[in-house]
Structure formats: C-alpha cells, structure tokens
Chain A
Amino acid sequence: MIPFNELITDNLPALVVVLPLLGGLLATLVGRFAWLWSTIITGSVFLLTYTLFTAVQAGPGMRYEFGNWPYLWGIEYRIDLLNAFILLVVSGIAFIATIYAKLSVEDEIPADRHNFFYSVWLLAITGLLGITITGDAFNVYVLLEISSLTIYALIAMGKDRDPRALTASLRYLILGSVGASFILLGIGYLLMVTGTLNMADMHAQLMAMPEATQNRTILVAFAFLLVGLSLKMALFPLHTWLPKAYTYAPSAVTAMVAATATKVGVYMAFRFLFTIFGYKFTFVDMPSYHILIICAAVGIIITGLTAIRQTNAKKLLAYSSVGQIGYIVAGFALANPQGVAGSLVHIFNHAAMKGGMFMALGAVAYRVGGTNMKDLRGLGKRMPLTAGCITAGALGLIGFPMTAGFISKWYLVQGALAGGSWLLAFTILFGSLLAVIYSWKMIEAMYFREPEGKTAEATEAPYMLVLPTMALIGLSIYFGINAEFTAGTALKAAAALLPGGVQ
C-alpha cells in the first residue's frame, strides 16, 4: 500500500508540475472524457498549489531537488511566497478556465480532436506552472517553450471561426521564439560568466564578482534578457503580437492565456531581475528603472488610446491587457515595497478581472456568434448576468473602489509617490481614465442600445459558462472589498525581494 499522504507532502513541489504533465499525456487516451479528466487534473493541481501555498506561507519556503541531486548540479524547485502566490493564481485560473472550456470548446473545436486539445491545454498549464516554480534558469527556458508552443497551437485553433487566428498565432510564434531565443542567449551569457544555471547560485556568483557592473558580457546578458522578457510579457512596444492573438483565439484559450501567460512572463522578469541580478544590479547600477517606467507609462497611454478606437470587444480588452501589463511593470520597476506589492496584487487582480471578462465575451460569442460592438448591443436585457460580469470587470479595470482594480492602483500610486514620481502616479490614474472611456463603449452598447441581429434572440448563456465567469469576477470583487489576503501576501513577497527584508 502506498502511503499517498506522505508521497504528496514529500513531493509536493514536483507533483504540482508532474501531475498536469501526466494528465496532459493521458488526456489523449481518455477519449470523450478529456474535459472531465482535465477538470479533475486542474482541480487537483489547484489543491496541491493551495497546500503548497499554505506551507510556504507558514514557513521560510520550500525546496525540492530532482533526482536528489544537490541543487548546484541538478534541477531544483525553489518556492517562496512570490512564486507560491503566482502558482496559486495560475492554477486557480486554469481550473476555472477548464471548467469554462467545456461548452466553449464543444462550440469551437471539431469534436474529433477534443482529447488532443485538452492534452495541449494541460501541457500549456504545465509549462506555465513549471516556469513559475523552478529555480533553474535553463529549466525556465524549456518550460517556457512548452507553454509557448502549446499556446501557439491553442491560439491557432481559433482558425475555424476566424482564419485570422492563424496569422495571429504565427506572428506570436515568430516574435515569441525571438523573445525566447533572446532569453536563451541571456541565460547563455550568464552561464558563461557564472558557470552555473541555478538561479540562486548565479546570483551568488554575480555578487561575488566585484566588477559585475563593468563586465560587458553581463551587461549584454541583462539587456537581452530584458528584451526577451519584455517580448514574452508583451510590454509596450513589444506587444504587437498580443492583441490579435487574444482576439482570434478560441474563447476559453483567450480567457486562460490572457489571465496567465503574460503574468508568468512578468513573474520571469521578477525572477531574473530581482533574484538573479538582484535589486542593486538591476535598479541601482542599471538604468532599468527608467527604461521600464518609460515603456510602461507610454504603453499605458498609447494602448489605452488604441483600445478606445477598437470595434471588437475582444480586441479592445486585448489592448487593455497590454496597458495593464504596463501597470504591473511600472509597479515592479519602481522597486519599492508598495510598487512591487502593487505589481503583484495587480497580477492577481488583473488575471481575475480580465479572465472573467474574456470568459463573458466568450459567452457572448457562444450565444451571438461574435464579439463585435454590434453584437454587444442591448445585451444588458438579453444576457443580464453576462453583461453584469462585463460591467463589473470594466469597473475593475477602471479601478473603481470596492473592486480589485482599486487595490492595485492604490498600491501602485503609492509606489509611484514613494519613488517620488508624481508624473507616473498621474499616468497610472490617467490610464484609468482611458479605461473609463473604452470600457464605457461596451457598457453603453450593452445597456443603452437596442439589440439587433442575433443579439435580439439571444438568451442568457448556459450556466457552465456563466458560473465560472461569475466566479472570477466575484473573486475580483471580493478581493477588492477584502484585500488583506492578496495585499498582505504581496507586501510580504515584495519585502522579501527588496533589500532590507521585511518592512
């Protein structure tokens, strides 16, 4: 008899990634039950990450050495509050998105390949979780490629509804591969200089080098990693792949990817900038603060203005996502406790809000067949719950008080003020104004226009679509009203990343 309890407690970090991998492989063999199988797997993964999170929250962190090789040689998983939190977010969203996927996938993907779809879906989740949990720089690259490759394929699966999914996917593939190659190159430069691949060890080696900031190899490694990561997290102006990819992907894919993929990209940036290079190198010796802040601020404004011009709701939200990445990046680039905490909180909050909104739009597409502004008209009457979710999400994007978005802005603006940058604080809030304008386009269409075409006959979406949507939106509101969990965790994680320890 195998003692499962012990198996799980001892191998918790490994299981978080291995379980979805096994699940993804077996999903091809379970035939018609692929969805059920995926739901069970993602649900268990969520439980595992939750256990992991509570364990990490209580203690100093956790490590797992694969093959029992010492961490300096082998591959190590290293979990602190930061990645435990992101893991929780990713697995939670993945679980909800998987539940949501059932009807949406039945609607949009040919039935004969559902098992492969869910297989790839679970592998994407595996990749994202793997990037988040690992403590090995090259392992990041491998899992990055797993997640990217799967996401390219998943996005391209929107081809049956709109062939532009293919071009969007290919563009993402090319830019994403260039980004990943830059990351690979950066890791290579670092490997060359430090002789190790373990992140903590790399950091130690870099710290031991007195002239690290003068070493041109390290500088170039830093620059290329920064560019590669920016591509992956879609930081303005390297975001060009994102809007179309999100717009034309299948609904469930958009919801899952929008809520997790770029977030994991940001997490990678956290790891590379804070853990490997360290606060001092990144923010004291390098001008990363200025570069990132400028990109983020300009991105917030320009993508906001672009979003206003969109006529497709999904694309509008996609542009908004780029702007939100700007917030997240601006937050951690400030490199003060409030800013970093704001960034972390916003990772969660934005995942919940945007995930929920994309799901709601997916429900619209399910009933009406499209997400053009025209299709949204009069939706407030026809699909009240869905429209309500979109509205609540929009309020979150604006940063309306009592929504999660407000909490993010609260910390981000404080971070900006602590960094002495009133201009950035103002930009962040100006971004909210742009959010008012673009999200109000949707709200006006939904509540103050008469339905026409297919919308006029639409009824509320099935509960399998609405409930997951409401769950995410509900989370975003709950954590707007009671933010102690998210903000507290984020503050603690931020303090651990910055010099000076706990506040």
Chain B
Amino acid sequence: MAWNEIVCAVLLVVGVLISLTGSLGLLRFPDFYSRLHTAGKTDSLAQLCIFVGLALIDQVTVDGVAYPVDPLIRIKLIMVALLLFFTAPTATHAITKAAMLDGVMPWKKGEPPK
C-alpha cells in the first residue's frame, strides 16, 4: 500500500466521520445557530478532506481493469475543493446573518430546545 493510498484512506475516514457528526449534530443540537454550526462543518471541512483524499488516488479499477487517473482530474478535484472551501462558509455566514436579521434568538442554557 503506497503512502498516498494510506493518506487518502485516512482523509476519507476523517471526512466521513466529520460528516457523520455534522449530521448527528444537526439532529441533536438545540437551536438554529448551533445546528448551522455543525452543518457548516460538513460543508467545509468534511468535503475538503474527502476531495483532497480523492485527489491522491492514482488508479481506478473497474471490473478488474485498472485505469490510471488523469492529472487533470486531480486538478479539477482540488479546484472544486477550493471553491467549496470559499463558498460554504460564505453561505453559512449569509444564512446566519439572515437569521439574525429575521430575529431568530440563540438558545441559552436552561431553555427548552427549539
């Protein structure tokens, strides 16, 4: 097992775990803002891990035939990751701000979850 595949596997596992916890948080957290917080993680960190991990792969096996991965595909994957790395936080920010403007109040300890 080459180094890149190990790194790739680790990154993928990390990404999936973050996604999982993000989803869990979305269900479990008490209010809008904290839920958005976990969702934001899924959007940015998890996808970054996954995309970078995928970019490290250098061959794909389909039906027993191995195909090499074009460098162009790696570049594209990295670019997508980069794009999401910028847009996802922006979107989270915009949603939070919209919620603030709309008057959604954050949850405080002791209140019942919304």
A and B touch in the complex (CB under 8 A): no
